[in-house]
Structure 1
Amino acid sequence: MKRFLTTEQALAQLFEEEPIEERDMVIIPPNPSAVSDEKDFDENDLTNVGVLPSDTAGELEIHNSQFGIFKHHLSIDEQMIPYRGRHSCKMFIKGKPIRFGYKSWILASSDGYVFSFDIYQGKSENKYEYGLGGKVIIKLLKALQKPNYHKIYFDNFFTSFKLLSYLKQMGYFATGTVRDNRIEHCPVESIKVVAKKERGYYDYRFEKLNEIFVVRWNDNSVVTVASTCHTISLLSNVSRYSKKISSKIKIPQPNMVTAYNKHMGGVDLCDNLISTYRIKIRGKKWWWPIFTNFIDVALVNSWKIWKFVNRDDKKSLLAFRREVTNYLLRTPVKIEKNSSTGHASQFALQCENPIDSSGHYLSKIIDGKRRRWILPYALKIYVPNMSNRTPY
């Protein structure tokens, strides 16, 4: 028997012993007018450069969070939208799977559900107290209604001691890898000293005033992690390959590093799902790749909700996309005449009372011209036999 809970009731159970992912429940969406603090949302400043028409980005952001932020562990990372045309916002990042395109900052859950995003629009003349990474973090976290219900993870591009101190004061729990020049003279052992130690060695320090824990761990390379909610205990053992004995060995790993590795890959998981079945329709407008990427994000989010509610249904993302496509093709579309779109083609034939677009065929007639038909039985045309066609 399923338990029907509101978003707040479901979030209140995140800190119980039994994880929310294992409960058999359905979250009832709240009133869309009270989803979050959208009134303070500045529409990503997209209207200043005209990234998308009709505020598409702002509308998608509202729909992404219409069920509230119903995940406990969230991650923030960058996403590349492929584009090889000419535009001032297009970027080149060496070593990335998508080297040319638009950059977008994403707030997603650990399983790949996108809650919020911000498209990077180039360097700003304003100087930010916490740097560009801190500005992005603070802007994306505005979507959270209750900061103490979530734990945030991000990489060393964003993390700094000042940012962690600010997030701690605002009530956010944050964890991230940090660069050596951003730990504010923390007396932890240097990278050169830790690199000479055995594999699995770690050193840590705790800053009492802001309650920030810093650990430096020696793995394949030296990793530094800072957190306001995790510590080094409990230690876990991870498997690594040793060249000396030509076999795998067990080495200790601090809890901070374990939690970071477990919950940080949400944006990468979403990118992987999008790239598998990315929309390939090409357009001549520079904003078209951003628009199609938003459609892919919406489909992935819908599939995630479907899996969350229908636990027993093992429907794949491809099958889900096909089902959505078939539904849209069967949905009647009312076309209104618009003088701005020009006149109809002289070869277009209209039929009274069309049923829907599922009977839309393009066929040759006697005079050799191609005409668009609303119904297959409007005139004598060839209709292929679909009964013997193999289903998906």
Structure 2
Amino acid sequence: MSSDSEVDFPNLNKDNLTDEEFMDSDLDEDLSESDEAESFTPSAEEWRPVDDHDCGPRPVLFTAHPGPKHAPAPDAKPVDYVNLFLTDDIVNLVVNKTNKYARQFIEDNHENLETRPRSRVHKWTPISNEEFRAFLGVTMNMGLNKKSNYNAYWDSCNLSQETPWFPVHMNRDRYQIILKFLHFPDNMLLPDRNDIGFKLFKVQELIKHFNAKFKYFYHPTQNVSIDESMIGFKGKTPHIRQFMPNKRHARFGIKMWCLSDSANGYLCQFEIYEGSQGRRIGNGRTYTHELIIRLMTAADLLNRGHHLGIDNFFTSIELLEELFSENTTATGTVRSNRKGLPDVCVKTKLKNKELIAARKGNLLCLAYQDNSRKPILLSTASKAGLIDTVNSRKQPVTRPAVIHAYNQAMGGVDLGDEKLYMYIAERRSLKWTNKVFFSLFGRAILNSYIIYHSNTSDRPKLSRYNFIVSALESMTSNFVPQKVIRRKRTRTEMEAAQMGPTLLTQTVAGHPLDGHDLSKLPVGKKRQCVAGHPTRVRTGWECTGCKVGLCPECFAKYHRQL
């Protein structure tokens, strides 16, 4: 059997696995094979070759009702959709834990803070629910207006780079101090380091909240997929940090297992990876087998006729047969060294664009020679024949039906990631918990737009960009920030700052000091101010007469004391 089709294989090869993952997977498989307490008995049928006249598997009806559930009115505003996930409960939790953590930090570091009078920590005041929502609105706008660092959003020195919206809605120091104290757990309840729940304790409430809301407000279409996604982070974490070179947006970081709708990228359920030993496997399943069943069960997708797409890291004969016993079909690429595969598919040498298939009950195994690659697929959703379809460039092609089914089901997680990183502000952070929170919040924004797009009566419907703009404007409109009073610079000081190295004439009691002027140091050079600050202060100015570093505001005070 042969085909001259051009084939698309999303995530066909998983060459990005770490040695630790391979070791974990192999270890779990060995444990699985030696465990007598099997929860599922595989089929005892033998493999038999099949051709174009393959009768296919037993039909499985799709009985679910995909789309939004418990959605707001069709004329609801974008912020109403965002608030489906950003509920008062989660806002109260974050606000209370943040205020408590800030209070504890200030008490524990009281002596150290006394020696740092200029620290922004001294300006801390408890955050309110309205201010926290405004804080998130400001963060959302950073994703629409990407800049190199946080300070750039409050840049008022370079007229060409000004973004006046940000200082109007939140002061820079206030934004950064909220970011510093942003907290989610109660540190008094932190479990022992050896406990199973220790690694994810600090974000466990976030995981529970978002998983529950993602499931409650939307049911996916028939095709769903499970794959990994990355939260970019290079710092220290209590769990395993991963490296995945094929992830364009984040190659280093925290790995998530995601169950997504293949049609639009909606995130239905997720788990944060904490190592294969983070959960004890005692029912005869491998770690990956257990993970698939756990995610599908948590999302309430079994026994509804869904079709699951998975890659060769997950696919096994036992998994697909158990899913089929739960009225759930699946298609996935499989590693050639998996036990139980038919020799005719594994060992037969094929010509280019030629395929060979074998069937065991409802399970189909197909090998296809695609130029230099020979992928092997398992499926309980497809026949062995060829079908006419179109490729990614909308050109008509003929391809194996099982490959067409795989392409339809696979790719939902990557689609969601592609949409997510388009409008999310990725910033470096020393706190892995902040990275997890903002990643989950960004996915909640994407999910809220998918629900809006399916439910709204708006004609025309808002683009995702305009949806986010409308939501963040609503979130920031209810909060009025405190005005920060700063000393205005004189015209002479402003001119000196713009002109670079120059002289700034100063007076003491109305009389000029002959030979004593403030000189702006070259860009990048600073000296310590000698005016007697409680802590060391470096300045870009010096007195030409005294040849010492002085701040402009310290010049007169210093010379009065001479």
Give the TM bin, normalised by the shorter chain. Answer: 0.5 to 0.7
- CA separation in 2, counterparts of 1:178 and 1:366? 68
Contact 1:237 1:253 in 2 (8 A): yes
Calculate the TM-score normalised by the size of structure 1.
Answer: 0.68
- 1:186 to partner: Cα distance: 1.1
Contact 1:154 1:176 in 2 (8 A): yes
Q: Structure 1 residue 328 and structure 2 residue 475: aligned?
A: yes
Paired position in structure 2 for 1:274: 420
Q: Structure 1 residue 84 and structure 2 residue 234: aligned?
A: yes
- CA separation in 1, counterparts of 2:453 and 2:342? 44
Q: Which of 201, 215, 227 is the aligned partner of 2:366? A: 215
Contact 1:173 1:228 in 2 (8 A): yes
- Of the structure 1 ranges 121-130 and 322-331, higher mean CA displacement relative to structure 2 is found in 121-130
Paired position in structure 2 for 1:67: 217
What percent identity do the matched residue pairs reach?
26
Instruction: Report 1:147-162 matches (<5 A).
Output: 147-162=303-318
Quick one: which amino acid aligns to residue 426 of structure 2? K
- CA separation in 2, counterparts of 1:240 and 1:61? 32
1:179-225 CA distances to partner (integer Å, 9 max, x unpaired)?
Answer: 1122514143335602xx132x11111102xx101111222322211
Q: Which of 265, 271, 274 is the aligned partner of 1:118? A: 271
Paired position in structure 2 for 1:41: none
Instruction: Report 1:234-383 matches (<5 A).
Output: 234-236=386-388, 252-310=398-456, 312-331=459-478, 356-357=479-480, 360-365=482-487
1:50-99 CA distances to partner (integer Å, 9 max, x unpaired)?
Answer: 44346111011011011242421111000011001012421122343222
Paired position in structure 1 for 2:244: 93
- CA separation in 1, counterparts of 2:302 and 2:276? 31
Q: Structure 1 residue 198 and structure 2 residue 352: aligned?
A: yes
Which structure: larger Rg?
Answer: 2
- 1:316 to partner: Cα distance: 2.4
Contact 1:90 1:100 in 2 (8 A): yes
Secondary structure in 1 matching 2:460: coil
- Aligned Cα root-mean-square deviation (Å): 3.2
- 1:28 to partner: Cα distance: 4.5
- CA separation in 2, counterparts of 1:93 and 1:295? 23
Contact 1:159 1:178 in 2 (8 A): yes
CA 1:217–1:52: 2 relative to 1, 3 Å: same
Paired position in structure 1 for 2:290: 135
Unmatched tracts of structure 1, length 5 or more? 1-10, 15-19, 33-44, 242-248, 332-355, 369-392
Secondary structure in 2 matching 1:291: helix
- 1:133 to partner: Cα distance: 1.6
- 1:281 to partner: Cα distance: 4.6
Quick one: which amino acid aligns to residue 214 of structure 1? C
CA 1:235–1:112: 2 relative to 1, 3 Å: same
CA 1:51–1:84: 2 relative to 1, 3 Å: farther
Quick one: which amino acid aligns to residue 211 of structure 2? E
- 1:148 to partner: Cα distance: 2.7
Quick one: which amino acid aligns to residue 364 of structure 1? R
Paired position in structure 1 for 2:381: 229
Quick one: which amino acid aligns to residue 119 of structure 1? I
Q: Which of 340, 343, 352 is the aligned partner of 1:184? A: 340
Paired position in structure 2 for 1:338: none
- CA separation in 2, counterparts of 1:159 and 1:216? 15
Q: Which structure has more RCO (C-alpha within 8 Å, separation ≥ 6)?
A: 2
Calculate the TM-score normalised by the size of structure 2.
Answer: 0.48
Contact 1:240 1:251 in 2 (8 A): no
Q: Which has the higher strand share?
A: 1
Aligned residue-pair number: 300
- CA separation in 1, counterparts of 2:315 and 2:203? 34
CA 1:121–1:262: 2 relative to 1, 3 Å: same
CA 1:251–1:192: 2 relative to 1, 3 Å: farther
Paired position in structure 2 for 1:39: none
Unmatched tracts of structure 2, length 5 or more? 1-61, 73-83, 85-194, 491-562
